[in-house]
Amino acid sequence: MPNKTIYIKEEHLSIFNKVQEIGKDSISSIITDSLKRYIEEEEDRDKKLREGSDVEEKLFRILKHSSTLKASQIHLQPDVNEHRVRARIDGNLRDIDSVPENLYRPLVAFLKSLAYLDTDTQEPQGGRFSWKKNGLTWDLKISTLLSVLGETVTLNFLKTDTDIPKISQLDPCQRIHPYLQSIAQREAGLVFVTGPTSSGKSTTLYSLLKSVDRETKKVLTIENPVEAVIPGVIQVSSDEYFGKISQALRAGMKSSPDVILVGEIRDTETAQICMELAITGHLVFSVLHTNTAVGAFLRLRDIGIAPFFLKDAISTIIGQRLVRQLCPNCKESYSITKKEKEFLNDSGKTKKLYRPKGCSACGQTGYQGQIPLWEVLQPSSEFHQILEEGGDEQDLEKTLKLENRPWTWQEDGIEKAKEGYTSLDEVRRLVSWK
């Protein structure tokens, strides 16, 4: 029999030597322990694979269900007895599902990994991501926050270019349409859209951008994050500039844009740059979180912007809020009550209003979708004079005439209630009546 060379791996030799040291009687226990560890590792690996599959399936069901309900947000919220899944539908939160204890933390970790966030920290984080499964795709913005019961996650559905309505589609009454159209065609000036959180401000700004002549003008946006990609527009995330909008804005100006959208003004430096741009021949759009259009001027004055800058730079303030729209399938008319007649104060011209009823199409809520209430403010010289003198909101309101503010939120809400787009109760719920 010819000689044959046998190569022994170092780890095998180590085991062989160990066996010789401890004796043959112990070999059985070594093999048993090794097999036990191997089985445990395989079971742990299988468990992780099953959890990963369960997590993806759970997320898919949550997203698909929320999309069917036309939700704008999803909230994953740990609670005392369960981990709740809530969807914001027509402005209101509704429980739509729950997550088992063993899946909640893996689901949060999976969502973080999709947005390239740090999965090992519970510090507040934010980002955006796209996720595709079973032929469906979702674009989402994510933010996390640690509560005493665990991490909460908020997911916002981001719009695509095709989801952004035209200016003519923003308001069923078409009252705002000519104003927005003229704003989009301006050469210069600063235009603010104001209102509370989740009042449709970003949608209005994107609609304005889509109406700008992008063939002959260079359009730039500075956002955090970029919420929808628009063809023909240069869109920049301020995250690339350490989260500083002012720094990203200064860098962007070197590319010589004609029209600029700034996602939100939160500090004096960013506000100052926007004012300077508007005065030097640029058309600038931005957002302010104020309850009223008049309040936008007070907010800017309070953060240190000189009143003469406000006068020269700001051309228009658009204020908006969202109210729920009556379901067209089940809304019902009714004779106006005496109290409502006195409230409307229209000499008895209005004979009927509309109210929700509820059907399968609207989930028995009586409402389906949301519509905006608008006000447009174009300040006068007298308005700016009172502002310079330190006047408050009541003082400024007294200077406004029909040509400066064609209608208020209250008036727009009443008209939409009369025309059957929403209920009078819904309007009164959101608007502070004077």
- The 3-class secondary structure across the chain, one letter per residue, is CCCCCCCCCHHHHHHHHHHHHHCHHHHHHHHHHHHHHHHHHHHHHHHHHHHHHHHHHHHHHHHHHHHHCCCCEEEEEECCCCEEEEEEECCEEEEEEEECHHHHHHHHHHHHHHCCCCCCCCCCCEEEEEEEECCEEEEEEEEEEEECCEEEEEEEECCCHHHCCCHHHHCCCCCCHHHHHHHHCCCCEEEEEECCCCCCHHHHHHHHHHHCCCCCCCEEEEECCCCCCCCCEEEEEHHHHCCCHHHHHHHHHCCCCCEEEECCCCCHHHHHHHHHHHHCCCEEEEEECCCCHHHHHHHHHHCCCCHHHHHHHEEEEEEEEEEEEECCCCCEEEECCHHHHHHHCCCCCCCEEEECCCCHHHCCCCEEEEEEEEEEECCCHHHHHHHHCCCCHHHHHHHCCCCCCCCCHHHHHHHHHHCCCCCHHHHHHHCCCC
Calculate mean pLDDT across residues 290-307: 89
pLDDT band at 356 (very low <50, low <70, confident <90, very high): very high
d(CA 396, CA 388): 11
Report whether pLDDT(6) > 60.
no
- For residue range 132-159, list pLDDT tens digits in order: 988 899 999 999 999 999 999 999 998 8
pLDDT tens, position by position, 81-119: 889 999 999 989 999 999 999 899 999 999 999 999 999
Tokens of residue 353, six digits:
């209003």
Binned at pLDDT 50, 70 and 90, residue 404 comes out as confident
On the question of pLDDT at 407 being above 90, the answer is no
Contact predicate 138/222, CB 8 Å: no
Q: What is the CA radius of gyration of the chain?
A: 30
Domains and CATH numbers, the chain: 67-157 (3.30.450.90), 161-430 (3.40.50.300)
Residue 433: per-residue pLDDT: 46
Token pair in block for residue 132: 């595709």
Quote the crossing angle between the two packed helices 10-22 and 27-68, to the nearest 10°. Answer: 130
Q: Is a pLDDT exceeding 50 seen at residue 335? A: yes
Question: Could you give the CA distance from residue 69 to residue 87 in angstroms, rounded to a whole number?
Answer: 9
- Which residues have CB under 8 Å from 231's CB, separation 6+? 161, 214
- 406 pLDDT band (50/70/90 cuts)? confident
pLDDT at 212: 93
Type of residue at 93: L
Q: How far is CA 324 from CA 289, 356, 367, 430, in A?
A: 21, 10, 6, 10
What is the CA angle 424-172-374, rounded to 5?
Answer: 65
Q: Is 415 exposed, middle or buried (0-12, 13-18, 19+ CB in 10 A)?
A: middle
pLDDT tens across 157-195, in order? 988 878 888 898 988 888 888 889 999 999 999 999 998
Is 343's pLDDT higher than 80? no
pLDDT for the residue 236: 92
Predicted local confidence at residue 366, as pLDDT: 93
Distance CA 92, CA 98 (A): 18
- Residue 242 contacts residue 235 (beta carbons within 8 Å): no
The string of pLDDT tens digits covering residues 72-87 is: 999 999 998 889 999 9
Q: Which residues are registered as beta bridge partners of 367?
A: 326
Mean of pLDDT values over 384-402: 87
Q: Residue 339, Cα to own-chain centre: how many angstroms?
A: 38
